[in-house]
């Protein structure tokens, strides 16, 4: 993995967003400067720096485009940011500036943690805002015992014990009315989650906030 500064990552991310519909497009220096909110002179300097690292192709007096290596690096950054956005909004219930917080946290995520987040969230395809999450080199692993995952990601035929309910007190009481709580054993079947032989009705957003430790896959 290439070590990048937060500012270098920001440039790659903005280029990736600009290239979403046309990977071969040349992004003008002035346009990129606007996207990053810096001067064109500073942007030109950063483009030259990234070009030396083979992350962008610099076209003098025109702009730049991502190289294949740069595109892959930028996709990884966007993927991690998207996973964090889902974690913050749908699991933790964070209601602040989600994108800003995700951007700050993303810089501290390594490959191992990225894979763990991806697995925990059930290998999501879109962010809460509907943006597609890049799937370059995504590793979908067989489910193992001892993993802490949301009920929404519990595979069919597996059993688990609830260890954490990440909700406001009012929502937690709603969950308790279904018979679920910390220490409750649940089982995933083809038509949903069951507890003591009874099917539990709940929304996907609620199921994302109930974390259970896997016991076995039948």
pLDDT above 70: percentage of residues in the chain = 94
Separation CA 84–CA 131 (nearest Å): 13
**pLDDT at residue 55 in the model:** 96
Of 51, 70, 89, which residue is a domain's last? Answer: 70
Number of structural domains found in the chain: 2
The reported pLDDT for the residue numbered 10 is 92
Which residue segment(s) compose the domain that 48 sits in?
6-70
Token representation of residue 118: 């991806």
Task: Please say if the pLDDT value at position 138 is more than 70.
Answer: no
Element (H, E) at 163: strand 158-165
Neighbour count for residue 153 (Cβ, 10 Å) = 20
pLDDT at 130 over 60: yes
Beta bridge partners of 213: 148, 161
The mean-pLDDT minimum among 8-12, 76-80, 136-140, 164-168 falls in 136-140
Domain end position, chosen among 54, 70, 86: 70
Whichever domain contains 13, its CATH number is 1.10.10.10
Question: pTM for the complete prediction?
Answer: 0.70
Q: What is the CATH number of the domain that holds 173?
A: 2.30.30.90
Instruction: Flag whether 38 is in a domain.
Output: yes
109 falls within a domain? no
CA atoms of 34 and 43, how far apart (whole Å): 9
Q: Are 69 and 16 in contact (CB under 8 A)?
A: no
| Boundary-marking domain end, from 70, 101, 126 | 70
In the predicted structure, residue 30 carries a pLDDT above the cut 90 = yes
What gap in Å lies between CA 136 and CA 70, rounded to an integer? 13
């Amino acid at each position: 993995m290439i070590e990048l500064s937060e500012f270098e990552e920001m440039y790659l991310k903005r280029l990736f967003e600009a290239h979403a519909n046309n990977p071969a497009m040349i992004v003008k220096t002035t346009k990129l400067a606007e996207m990053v909110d810096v001067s064109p002179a500073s942007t030109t300097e950063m483009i030259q720096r990234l070009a030396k690292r083979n992350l962008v192709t610099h076209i003098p007096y025109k702009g730049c485009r991502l190289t294949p290596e740069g595109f892959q690096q930028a996709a990884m950054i966007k993927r991690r940011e998207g996973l964090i956005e889902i974690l913050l909004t749908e699991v933790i219930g964070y209601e602040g500036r989600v994108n800003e917080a995700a951007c700050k946290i993303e810089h501290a995520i390594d490959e191992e943690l990225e894979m763990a987040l991806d697995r925990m969230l059930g290998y999501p395809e879109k962010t809460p805002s509907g943006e597609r999450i890049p799937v370059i080199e995504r590793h979908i692993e067989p489910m193992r015992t001892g993993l802490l995952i949301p009920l929404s990601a519990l595979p069919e035929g597996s059993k688990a014990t609830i260890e954490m309910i990440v909700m406001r007190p009012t929502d937690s009481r709603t969950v308790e009315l279904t018979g679920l709580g910390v220490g409750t054993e649940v089982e995933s079947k083809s038509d949903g989650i069951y507890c003591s032989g009874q099917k539990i009705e709940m929304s996907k957003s609620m199921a994302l906030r109930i974390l259970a430790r896997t016991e076995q896959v039948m």
